[in-house]
Structure formats: structure tokens, C-alpha cells
Amino acid sequence: MIFRRFLYGIKEGTRNIFRNKMFSLASLGTIIACVFLLGTFLSVALNVRSTMQQMEQSVGISVFFEPGISTERKDQIGEEIKKKEDIATMRYVSAEEAWESYKKDVFQGNEELLEGFEGNNPLKESDSYEITLKEVKSYKQVVSHLETIDGVRKVRYSEGAAEGMP
């Protein structure tokens, strides 16, 4: 009995689609518009979420050392930094690596400007640790802790980007 009612409903629905073509087209247009708006909203929301995640991962902290600090002390500072639970990644950047990266970024295509720097690294006291955090919310506590470590000259971070994170 229920199956007959179902078939009757399908048959009447099909018949009414062809009887009321304008209303059927209007209903179809409304459904298409709703699906389009829902898809647009969903894609924008996912895009914003992805962008926020990328920005969170790109907020980095650089820890620079006092001039003349020993390699052993740099290693000790690195071990002390690793103890913080908020640290996601930490990478040591030597002065030579920093200079090579700087040359690629700044002097690309103008290598003749580097002639005066041959054999001389102007960033010789720029050894550092590059740090990313698990959660950007904890950057203030991490930065204040890093600034209190003996042997740390400067802690650089993008405060504006970190403040803008929810």
C-alpha cells in the first residue's frame, strides 16, 4: 500500500512539472542559486581557514647571540629553547648561511655589487636560531622567556602578524 502511494506521488509530481513549466523553472533556478551561494560561501570559508593556518606557521622568531659567544654556549641556548613546549621547529642558521641567503635575496641579478665583499662576511656575528611556534597565541610568553636568556642579544619577531592572529 505504501509503495503505491510513493509511485502515485512520483507520477503526479512528474505530471505537474510539465503542467506548470514556469513554476518548475523558477524552483529549479532558486535551487541552483542556493547551491551556488552555499558553494561560494564554503570555498571562501575554507580559503580563509587555509590562509590563517599558513600565516600561523609563517610567524617566526629569530634569536641572535651576543658577539663573541662560544659555540658551546650557543648549543646550551639551543637546548634551553628546545625545552619550551610551545616550540614547533627550531633551526640553527650560521652567519655564512645567513650571508648566502641575503646575497640571493638582495643581490640577485646584480652580482657585480658583491665584489667589495669578497672574503668578508658583514653578517659574521649573525648566527641565530629560527623558531616557529605550535600556537601563535603563546608568542609573548616565548619571546619574553627568550629575551631573559643569558647570551641572547636580540629576539626578532613579526609582532604585527602575531597580534593579528585570532
Tens of pLDDT, residue by residue over 98-151, are 777 777 777 676 666 666 666 666 667 778 888 888 777 777 888 888 888 888
> Among 55, 71, 89, where does a domain finish?
55
Using the predicted structure, report yes or no on whether residue 34 has a pLDDT greater than 90. yes
Range of the domain at 94: 59-163
- 114 within 8 A of 102, measured Cβ to Cβ: no
Query: What is the pLDDT at residue 33?
Result: 97
- Same domain assignment for residues 77 and 44: no
SS3 106: helix
Count of domains forming the chain: 2
> Among 18, 35, 55, where does a domain finish?
55
The number of C-alpha atoms within 13 Å of 18 and in the hemisphere containing its C-beta is 5
Least confident range from 41-45, 51-55, 84-88, 138-142: namely: 51-55
- Same domain assignment for residues 73 and 51: no
Confidence of residue 39 (pLDDT cuts 50, 70, 90): very high
Tens of pLDDT, residue by residue over 57-92, are 666 888 888 888 888 888 888 888 888 888 888 888
Query: What is the pLDDT at residue 160?
Result: 54
- Same domain assignment for residues 51 and 76: no
Strand order in the sheet with 152-157: 87-93, 128-133, 60-65, 152-157
Cell of 133: 611556534
Q: What is the CA radius of gyration of the chain?
A: 30
- Same domain assignment for residues 116 and 134: yes
Query: What is the pLDDT at residue 36?
Result: 96
- Same domain assignment for residues 65 and 145: yes
Using the predicted structure, report yes or no on whether residue 56 has a pLDDT greater than 70. no
The CATH number assigned to the domain holding 93 equals: 3.30.70.3040
- Same domain assignment for residues 18 and 31: yes
- Same domain assignment for residues 137 and 88: yes
> Among 55, 76, 99, where does a domain finish?
55
